[in-house]
A and B are shown apart, each in its own frame.
Chain A
């Protein structure tokens, strides 16, 4: 009886609370927009929330706004409007949905989005920078590019104390100080280093929790689905980064996942196949896409999306609050670099998971809209097949544009993939 009571409160809490927090966040943005307050426009790979929180700027993630139009099945209206304005069908759908949203004065299915006061874009995605330039032209707001050098080649992640790492860190640190100066100018507020320490503490709690949550999915059955549940957690990781609520959410999420592991509560009742997802979700048919796998008792136990789209929070980097700026520079460099590695050099990480996470296959989902994530996937897949002999599926679609999504074709390929997995199992005598 006690277990049931605990389950009633605990199991599924992350999803419930995450969804509520998400709605609260959009309500607060609507409130800001209605009051005419302006926001900081940022991106998921290196939001710099840690700095922006110190100036109490509402934070808008245009990527999340855009994907929500797809989830709510109205993306095509936004895409059409941006294409009528002049943008090509062949560019990022997130950008186009946001352009249309701006042309509509911020009107979004989840509320109103405030206009920008400043835009902060890292180089983790080049389109971030082109996108921010659009706001620069529309609103004449400052655009700050936080340039974070990534790994120069596979397996070449430099470490603290090494010459090349310190060169990069000095560059990031100098830019952080320049960003602080710009924030002081646009908000008229003085930077408070003690506030930064507080924010870093909350982010530490979140980072440690996020890393632990991901590790807990090594368990069989996996306590959460990395594609569906994981995306809810990811929303909190971005929108509430550097907040007390965000830190606490992840501590509680760890508690839930540990409970589920301990009691063998999985995201599927019968877990047959454990899969890794590589790429960006198919938001226009988000639930249906997942069902095409769960119908075969396949579950996603991890996803590169949860790594790069959390800005590398999966690394679990902990800031040293006694040297906040220097440590923030290190953390931004290490985490954003890791996010980039998750897109360009993910083979080693994936290979290392095959045994640890008992992986049966890898699902590559390159999309038309995002060349950052998608360009290298076919080659990466070839490499993984050759080096690890791991079954994989390569299915192309989009994260926004339903014109390039064919559910029937997708289902055929997914069914064939599972039939292949089944046959492989039978051949090897594993059941």
Chain B
């Protein structure tokens, strides 16, 4: 696909680039995906948290992360009962409404609710709607071999959808593209960690988030253009509390909420859209690329409440994350009705209590529009720390 799907930022100054990214993130009509399809491209929609996008990319598809949208579930509401998180409904909504058109859909058994999505999708759409069974026993000696088999099964489905063979060489090339993307995202997070005054919280988030809606080559170009400009910014450090945000691994808080938090503290690290940053090192580009991706998922990866791994106890991982970025405090959130997130809050806060680290506990919903009360609470929390 030679045509650009996200040309708006090109040739513009940094502030306008960042504005274009924020606009795209908040646009519920998926203009970049529409352009991709209008040019004849196929789209693989995958639900949170992690998906081996390299496999779809190698087939020439656009992998699009379904991570919810702040819309009313007018069409989707009657497909669900009560007591469910918003992201399930809004993700189905944009597809039922026709705003987002897919050629295949993949979900993962990340939680009790989301694991139903492939079945729901399958009853409503004719294209392949599958569950990708990422290993839940990461500690089994057979988990990597199993996952490679599972990825190859996915690869065959992708081949059926696109009608083209997905060669090893093609996947290796895609791995290289994604390696660069992961490296650039690590650079962005390094800026957040070391000089958070150079990039606003909502801008850092938007820069990551647009990657889920455009080809990675375009995302790489964007980040290559933006990151040097960020580091050259003439911005002054302020006396603010350094905070880690935890609880954004699936449903995403609204951009306005991230902006509000960024006004009250420095968000120096987080788990927002962790699936796009799940693999923490380069994946080898030689050898069997599918086996390499499987190995990286199990052994070279981050953590989240939806993956059990005896080597990565979540509260210990949070403390490590906080230590690495010299955080003073944590914001421990969960999306409303998010079972794994709400359960993990107890473990996180117990560990933080034990370490005598201050924290702020909250819940959010992707379609929240008012933050006055929350802002007052967060400000009070930060002021208490600043003036303690």
Interface, chain A (partner B; CB < 8 A): 85-88, 90-92, 95, 123, 125-127, 129-130, 132-134, 137, 143-147, 149-154, 164, 167-168, 170-171, 174-175, 178, 343-345, 347, 366, 368, 370-372, 374-380, 382-383, 394, 396
Contacts and interface: CB of A to CB of B under 8 A. Distances in A.
A-B interface, 7 closest residue pairs, ranked by CB to CB distance from nearest: A174-B142, A372-B112, A167-B149, A371-B112, A147-B137, A375-B116, A376-B116
B140 A171 contact: yes
B140 A137 contact: no
B82 A368 contact: yes
Nearest to A145: B137
A136 to B, nearest CB: 8
A90 B335 CA distance: 11
Nearest to A85: B346
A123 B136 contact: yes
A375 B84 contact: yes
B83 A382 contact: no
Contacts of B128: 153
A127 B308 contact: no
B337 interface: yes
Contact of B81 (A125, A126, A345, A374): A374
A255 to B, nearest CB: 38
A170 B112 contact: no
B339 interface: yes
| Most chain A CB atoms below 10 A, which of B82, B112, B143 | B112
A380 B112 contact: no
Interface in B86-120: 88, 109-113, 115-116, 118-120
16 contacts: A85-B346, A86-B346, A125-B112, A130-B340, A149-B146, A152-B132, A153-B129, A154-B123, A171-B143, A171-B149, A344-B119, A374-B81, A379-B123, A380-B119, A382-B79, A396-B83
B183 interface: no
A175 B137 contact: yes
Contact of A146 (B118, B122, B137, B305): B137
Given A145-B137, A170-B146, A175-B140, A88 B345 contact: yes
A133 B112 contact: no
Nearest to B122: A154
Contacts of A91: 339, 342-343
B123 to A, nearest CB: 5
Contacts of B119: 153-154, 344-345, 376, 379-380
B133 interface: yes
A350 to B, nearest CB: 13
B122 A167 contact: no
B387 interface: no
Contacts of A371: 83-84, 111-113, 116, 339
Given A87-B343, A382-B79, A396-B81, A170 B109 contact: no
A147 B140 contact: yes
B136 A130 contact: no
A134 B118 CA distance: 29
B306 to A, nearest CB: 7
A400 B81 CA distance: 18
A87 B344 CA distance: 9
Contacts of A167: 146, 149-150, 153
Contact of B135 (A147, A170, A347): A147
A326 to B, nearest CB: 14
Given A91-B342, A145-B136, A152-B131, A376 B120 contact: yes
Given A147-B136, A175-B140, 9 more contacts: A87-B343, A88-B342, A126-B115, A127-B339, A130-B340, A150-B109, A344-B115, A370-B112, A372-B115
Nearest to B123: A383
B75 to A, nearest CB: 12
Contacts of B140: 147, 171, 174-175, 178
Interface in B249-297: none
A149 B310 CA distance: 20
B81 A123 contact: no
B137 to A, nearest CB: 4
B141 A86 contact: no
